[in-house]
Copies of this chain bind each other. A is one copy, B any other.
Amino acid sequence: MTAEMLKPRFTGARVTRIEDARLLRGQARYLDDIAAPGMLEMAFVRSNRAAARILSIDTSAALRVPGVKAVWTFADIPITLVNSAYPVQQPVLARDEVRHVGELVVAVIAEDRYTAEDAAELVQVKYDPLPPVLDTRAAMTDEPRRVHADRPNRFYHKVQETDGFQQAFAGAPRKLKLTFTTHRQTGVPLETRGCAAMPDPASGRLTVYATHQSPHNFRAQLARVLGLPENLVRVVVPEVGGGFGIKAMFYPEYVVVAEAARRLGRPVKWVSDRTECLLTDAHARDAVHEVEVAFTEDGRIVALRDHVLGDTGAYPFLGFAGAVGEAGWATDMLTGPYKIPYVSITIDCVFSNKAPTGPYRGVGGPIGAQVHEGVVDAIARELQMDPADVRRVNFIGPDDFPYETPTGNVYDPGSYRESLERALALVDYERLRRQQAEWRKQGRYVGIGLCSFVEPSAFAESEAGSIPYEAASVRIEPNGTVTASFGLGPTGQGHETTMAQLIADQLGVDVKDVVVLHGDTDSAPFGGGTGGSRSGTIGGGAAVRAGQELRTKLVKLAAHLLEASEEDIELTEGKAQVAGVPARGLSIRELARIAYTDVGRLPEGMTPGLEVLVRYRPPMAATYSNGIHLAVVEVDVKTGFVRVLDYVVVNDCGKLINPMIVEGQIHGGVAQGIGSALLEELRYDGNGQLVTTSLMDYLLPSSTDVPRMRIEHLETPSAAEGGFKGMGEGSLIGAPGAIANAVSDALAPFGVFVTDLPIRPEQIVRWVRQGA
């Protein structure tokens, strides 16, 4: 019986999320719910300057507060984080100098958080201010100064150009120049960051609870920084309330907490408050793309040039410099779903006296899509074509797969044109365009925005440092229920459900009989964790393969016991059944009992037990999902308020494991995309002070900003196990461009073309006044 012959009962079905039973009842156990007798808590004194030399730190008053156990500066904990690619020194507590507002300066450890915070306020830090580096362009030439004295601010420079670009560009009949900007934003997970460390002075092992997307990466980084072997560090990730990439990074607080637990011999916890999050959770975006496009009279794009300026803030994260990663993704995917033969890419990334940037859902994807979709719509406007038609002219066609982009990506088959047509049909595009014209006559400014995108995901390159595989450890327990363990780091995506669906189908058991464990490096097989939309495809592949291996053993055992041939055994509804002979069957429970505790009945040579550890690596470097977002917005030209009237998503992530979960991902991504396009900005003032330090200032979309969506699925399978493709980021990749293009379209009568996100109401009012 092969996997192909399986009639899946759960895979592809709208199985109710197993984890929702606890999440929706408020019974989940997050980091801040971790408590242990004798646990200390930590608070930090953070820099209130963007750039300054530290003249003195006086901790004496803080140390006198009853309940305070320790007050540490860099002198007490002289540990420095160093990104191996961009080796600037990031002291976990500031050494002689502070480089951004929010940087850690002093750690206060006390019996409880209240005491720690009160004592932190008594710490006196004297600063000698320095001129802050805040402007990206100026920073390129080390103006006004260097952020790190020993390195130029421009720490990264890359040029990539297709052979023949210059000639193609020069020879094209039409050209356009556009500058796209996305300002600083961040993921703002509902649960803030934190960690808690518990020492075992006896064995020397340290258990660290962390809100993190990759337990094993976290362990590797912490162990390396503390100089501990990995087998003496146990990382446990409890329930995580959202990550969005923010929680894939390693932050200096974790080092201080872990080291405090080791030195003081007591559990120590720190959980950030919202202001700390906005100050120091990985910031993102903050890039300028200077674009030139060359195209034909019929709208065919010939060549595309992009010069990216990215600001990575004061320090690169370990293993990830935000600006480099974002610019890399955005330009690598610069041609999106289009057959553009020539590209020229230049990337410059600088340090500044702002908070470090890192990954945020989709990384450079939203900017990349904003660029190529902005370019397509600008061409449409220039040539007075319908934006849909410019897309039709340029799409990679069904016969082009596997398609290699000018940046070297090899796309697996997708449904670019088909997605567009489905989306247009869903809104009755022709009718809608007529309606739009009607409304305009009535003074209603309604716009239609499209955003086609390709989402690279489930990265499985074999280059050094990458983890292009995932493992599943699956055990059928002696009583026939199933326990599966993964190195994934779910932050709410529903992996417990999707992995259980895949395993249940292989074993012919109920999805409720499969318990999925994760987050504990002691029980989980080594894995890369969650990020880059890899869990469903790579983790899911491991789940399927592990299920297959157990299935093969179950079938062999059942055939032996039932005296039937293996080909005739079906696993279904918790039983192994001889096909067509209802009387001849054995429950999985009975097979499990025999496999573990009645091993005299096993066939010759069969190992006892039903327990496998399987590692899966997809056969390709990445999968490429695709989709299109279509937004209909109305702009109130008096107030600048943008209302989303309609929203359609056509998404193709290959074979669906659970459409309900896929749709949940799309709902969330669109909501974040609306925030990204219309609301969210981390804004620094001229002194480098972050002025958006609460959710009153950093505006998130609420339920009134997010429309009902219509979602359709296409399923163009990948060559990965199960035909899955990653899809966790596509919705945030598609949404900002769709909103931007819709606003441009609405405000076309005023000559407005949006290239700067987020679009603020005051800006709209200004544009309308200028254009009217």
Q: Which A residues are within 8 Å of any B CB, using their own CB?
A: 21-22, 25, 27-29, 35-37, 200-203, 205, 216, 220, 223-224, 229-232, 461-469, 471, 473, 475, 477-483, 485, 513-515, 517, 520, 522-523, 525-526, 596-600, 607-609, 611-613, 615, 617
Contacts and interface: CB of A to CB of B under 8 A. Distances in A.
Contacts of A463: 598, 600
Contacts of A615: 607-609, 611
B515 A232 contact: yes
Contact of A600 (B223, B462, B485): B462
A229 B517 contact: no
A597 B467 contact: yes
Contact of A229 (B220, B477, B609): B477
Contact of A611 (B220, B467, B515, B526): B526
A611 B608 contact: no
A599 B615 CA distance: 13
B229 A513 contact: yes
24 contacts: A21-B203, A28-B202, A29-B200, A36-B36, A229-B479, A229-B513, A230-B483, A231-B477, A231-B514, A232-B481, A464-B597, A464-B600, A465-B597, A466-B597, A467-B608, A469-B607, A469-B609, A477-B526, A520-B522, A523-B523, A526-B596, A526-B611, A599-B617, A608-B615
Nearest to A223: B479
A471 B609 contact: yes
Contacts of A477: 229-231, 526
A339 B468 CA distance: 63
Q: Which 6 A-B pairs have the closest CB atoms?
A: A22-B202, A462-B600, A27-B202, A523-B523, A230-B477, A229-B481
Contacts of A466: 597, 599
Contacts of A467: 596-597, 608
Contacts of A608: 467-469, 615, 617
A603 to B, nearest CB: 13
A523 B205 CA distance: 16
Contacts of A482: 231
Contact of A517 (B25, B464, B515, B522): B522
A485 B611 CA distance: 14
A39 to B, nearest CB: 9
Contacts of A473: 613
Contacts of A464: 597-598, 600
Contacts of A231: 477, 481-483, 513-515
B471 A611 contact: yes
A599 B229 contact: no
Contacts of A596: 467, 526
Contacts of A611: 471, 525-526, 613, 615
A546 to B, nearest CB: 11
B201 A27 contact: yes
Nearest to A200: B29
A525 B612 CA distance: 10
Contacts of A22: 202-203
Given A464-B597, A596-B467, A609-B615, A202 B25 contact: yes
A523 B524 CA distance: 7
A464 B594 CA distance: 8
Nearest to A484: B231
A230 B462 CA distance: 39
A526 B597 contact: no
A599 B523 contact: no
A68 B28 CA distance: 28
Contacts of A613: 473, 611-613
A216 B224 CA distance: 34
B462 A599 contact: yes
A240 to B, nearest CB: 15
Nearest to A201: B27
Nearest to A224: B479
Nearest to A525: B611
A343 B488 CA distance: 61
Contacts of A598: 462-465
Nearest to A612: B613
A268 to B, nearest CB: 16
Given A468-B599, A596-B526, A598-B465, A479 B200 contact: no
A477 B483 CA distance: 23
Given A469-B599, A469-B608, A523-B523, 19 more contacts: A22-B203, A25-B202, A35-B37, A36-B37, A37-B37, A229-B481, A230-B479, A231-B513, A231-B514, A232-B481, A462-B598, A465-B598, A466-B599, A467-B608, A517-B522, A525-B609, A526-B609, A526-B611, A611-B615
Contacts of A514: 231
Nearest to A527: B609
Nearest to A265: B27
A608 B487 CA distance: 14
A253 to B, nearest CB: 23
Contacts of A617: 599, 607-608
Contacts of A599: 462, 466, 468-469, 617
A599 to B, nearest CB: 5
A117 B381 CA distance: 84
A766 to B, nearest CB: 50
Nearest to A522: B523
A34 B331 CA distance: 54
A561 to B, nearest CB: 13
Contacts of A232: 481, 515
Given A220-B478, A523-B520, A202 B21 contact: yes
Nearest to A34: B37
Contacts of A522: 483, 485, 517, 520, 522-523
A711 B501 CA distance: 58
A595 to B, nearest CB: 10
A674 B353 CA distance: 76
Contacts of A609: 469, 471, 525-526, 615
Contacts of A517: 522
Nearest to A35: B37
A377 to B, nearest CB: 40
Contacts of A36: 35-37
Contact of A478 (B479, B515, B526): B526
Nearest to A600: B462
A79 B123 CA distance: 60
A230 B481 contact: yes
Nearest to A593: B464
A596 B466 CA distance: 8
Nearest to A216: B478
